[in-house]
Structure 1
Amino acid sequence: MAKNTFKQPERVAAQKKQRRRVKLASYINDFIGLDRLFGEDNAWPIRHIDRILWVTFLLVIYIALNHNAERLVRRIQRTKTIADEKRTQATVLQADFMKSGKQSELYKRVAQLGLTDSTLTPPHKIVVKTHEP
C-alpha cells in the first residue's frame, strides 16, 4: 500500500519562483553576455537583473516626469509674461480712448477741420413767422 505524505507547497512555490528567476537571468545572460562583463565568479548582477531593470525603469520614469514638469513651468511663465504684456497694452489703449473723448481733445481735432467752439459766440435764435401772407 502507498504511504501518505504531506506536501510542502511553500517550498515548491519558492523552488518554481527560483527556477523562473534563474531562467530569466540565464536568458538575459545568454543574450547580453553579462558573465563576460562581470566575470563568471561574480553572479550577483546576473541574479538580480530583474530588480536592476525595475529600478532603472523607475529612474527613467522619474527623469521623464521631472523634464515634463520643468517644461510646464517654463510654459506657464511664458504665458504669464504674454498675459501681463496684453494687460498693459489694454490699459494703455483704454487710457488713450478715455483721453480722446475729452472736450479739449475733441476741440483740438475739430479745429483742424475749421470748426470752432460754439461757446465763444452765443447761438442765433431763429424766428419763424407763421402769419405772413
Structure 2
Amino acid sequence: MAKNTFRQPERIAKQKKQRRQLRLASWLNDFIGLDRLFGEDNAWPIRNIDRILWVTLLLIVYIGLNHNAERLVRRIQRTKTQVDELRAQSTVLEADYNRSGKQSELAKHVAALGLTDSQKPPHKLVVKANEH
C-alpha cells in the first residue's frame, strides 16, 4: 500500500532541488581559483565568500569609525586646552586694562611727558544769570 503525501507543484519541487548560484563566488572561483586554494572537497569558504566579505567590510568600517572617534576626542582635548589658555590670557589682559585706567597709573604714564597733577584744588566758576 502506498503512503499518502501531499503533491507539490513541479515548479516548487524544481526550486528546492536547485541551489542558488552565487555570482560572486563563481566569479572569484574562476578568477582566483579558490577551489585549488581550499581544495575540491572543501567548498565551505567558496559558498560563504559573500558573508565573509560582508563581515570583513563591516570590520573595516568599524575600525575606521573607531580611529575617527579617537582622533576627534584628541582634537577636542587640544581645543579645550587652547580655550583654557585663551581664557586665562583674556582675564590677565582685562585686569591690566582695568588697572591702567586708574588715576595713579595714568599719572605714571604722563609723568614721562612732563605733565603732573595740579597741587591746587579746582575752583568754581560762577556765572550770573544776566551775564550769559
Q: TM-score range by the shorter chain?
A: 0.7 to 0.9
- Change beyond 3 A, Cα 1:62–1:121: same
- Alignment length, in residue pairs? 121
1:24-103 superposed matches below 5 A:
24-103=24-103
2 CA distance for matches of 1:54 and 1:125?
93
> How far 1:26 moved relative to its partner?
2.2
| Structure with the higher fraction of residues in helix conformation | 1
Give deviations 1:5-58, integer Å, cap 9, x for gaps. 542766554555x2223x542222111211222222221111111110111111
Q: Distance in 2 between matches of 1:125 and 1:115?
A: 23
* Unaligned stretches of 5+ residues in structure 1: 129-133
TM-score (norm 2): 0.75
The aligned counterpart of 1:7 is 9
The percentage of aligned residue pairs carrying the same residue is 69
Provide the residue aligned with 2:114 in structure 1.
Answer: 114
Alignment gaps of 5+ in structure 2: 1-6, 128-132
